[in-house]
Amino acid sequence: MANAISVSQLNAYIERVLVTDPLLNNIYIKGEISGLNYHKSGHIYFSLIDANGKVSCAIWRSYVGNIKTKLKEGDEIIVSGSINVYNKGGSYSINVRTAEVMGGGDLAKAFNDLKEKLEKLGLFDLQHKKPLPEFPKRVGVLTSGTGAAVEDIKRIIKEKNNIVDILIFPTLVQGADAPKSITDNIKLANMVSETEKPIDVLIVGRGGGAKEDLDCFNDEAVAMEIFKSKIPIISAVGHERDFTIADFIADVRAETPTSAANIAVYDVEEVKDNIYVLISDMVTKLSNMEEINRERINSYYSSMILSIRNKVINQEMAIENAKIVLTENNPLNILGKGYAIITKDDDKIVKSVDDLTIDDTYNISLKDGKAKAKILSKERG
């Protein structure tokens, strides 16, 4: 069409309108600081937000000296400045010349008030934290159905564990309708877990964004639904520096969605390696026990043989000693030394001269024979 203009012409026209508007050349805006960035160049970048809107701001290095107070995330401030249009990108921002801190912003105050309320109720206490299962079979993921976060979570889980099932609950995680979407899906996940296959752990979160983008996770209804969940919940909202009420009330807080995926499941290859190590240790211990038992048996056998030999030697020595005793006490051996045995006819041995009677006959046993003798006289020695 002959009247059509190019994109750059449109942006140039909008720029002329905005830049030449006297109101927009010296405008005062009130809002809450979000995404504050003290750049290494010396410039300061941030957004001003309220409950329903956001505008980008920049304080160039030449104007930083006009700011008398250190700006902080969540501060409510009034800035003065002018409109700056980025023609190529079709966007605009505020070139800030001055900034006055008014105190804590509405969003920061709401966050702190809710945090204090839930903390007083004891909902952050460790005693309420449910442990994560060591070997989950099914993981629920409650986040946006599209985008990097859900894809990263699925990729990390499957890389670590291709056995576990993943159940995605597509959820609004930004905007006015997000809190209801989150609470409804937490309820749904618990219902599915009770009526169908159990869900062992539930990841609730989203990828990074500006502070106001994460605000749906600072909602009291969302916090209470996380607390009531029978499924252990990992909160994975934004980046490491981001903290939400959901992080405090969940059973486990992960720094990012990918960290949550790592926390949620076990590493199959690591478990296999551990099993192989355990089997190897067990085989080694059994081999060592077999060797130890073999050595014990050999030791017992050697001890038994030695004991038997000692007993045989002791018995042989006892027999020899008995032989010696018998030999020494053998009457015949005594007779060989010149002694004799005197008995009466009744074979009663005469042991004393008092047993002898004059004129009686006695038997005399000698080494090589016997004789009879008559007692002619006797005399006590």
For the chain, the domain total comes to: 4
The per-residue pLDDT for range 351-360, each reduced to its tens digit, is: 777 777 787 7
- 251-to-125, 133, 158, 261, 304 alpha-carbon distances in Å: 10, 12, 23, 15, 65
Tell me if 322 is assigned to some domain. Answer: no
With tokens 């499924």, the residue in question is 231
Q: What is the mean pLDDT of residues 314-331?
A: 77
Both tokens assigned to 110: 């709401």
Q: What is the pLDDT of residue 2?
A: 59
Query: What's the pLDDT at 332?
Result: 64
Among the ranges given (29-38, 119-128, 285-294), the one the predictor scored with the smallest mean pLDDT: 285-294
Model-level pTM? 0.56
| 327 in a structural domain | no
186-200, 255-269, 365-379, range with the lowest pLDDT: 365-379
Are 244 and 171 within one domain? yes
Q: What is the mean pLDDT of residues 171-193?
A: 92
Contacts of 248 (CB under 8 A, 6+ apart): 115, 118, 119, 124
* Pairwise CA distance, residues 265 & 254, whole Å: 13
| Residue 324 resides in a domain | no
Domain that holds residue 278: 274-306
Q: Specify burial of residue 227 (Cβ count, 10 A radius: 0-12, 13-18, 19+).
A: middle
- Cα separation of 303 and 311, whole Å? 12
- The Cα 108–Cα 73 span in angstroms is 9
Same domain? For 228 and 291 the reply is no
* 320 within domain boundaries: no
Residue 381 lies in a domain: no
The reply to whether 177 falls in a domain is: yes
C-beta of residue 47 within 8 angstroms of C-beta of residue 56:
yes
221 and 289 inside one domain:
no
Residue 312 lies in a domain: no
Give the pLDDT score at 356. Answer: 77
Q: Give pLDDT, residue 188.
A: 95
Which H or E run includes 78? strand 75-86
Regarding whether 337 and 228 lie in a shared domain, the answer is: no
Q: Is the domain of 114 the same as that of 261?
A: yes
Q: Are residues 142 and 224 in the same domain?
A: yes
Condensed to tens digits (0 to 9), the pLDDT of residues 263-275 reads: 999 888 887 777 7
Let me know whether 262 and 291 are in one domain. Answer: no
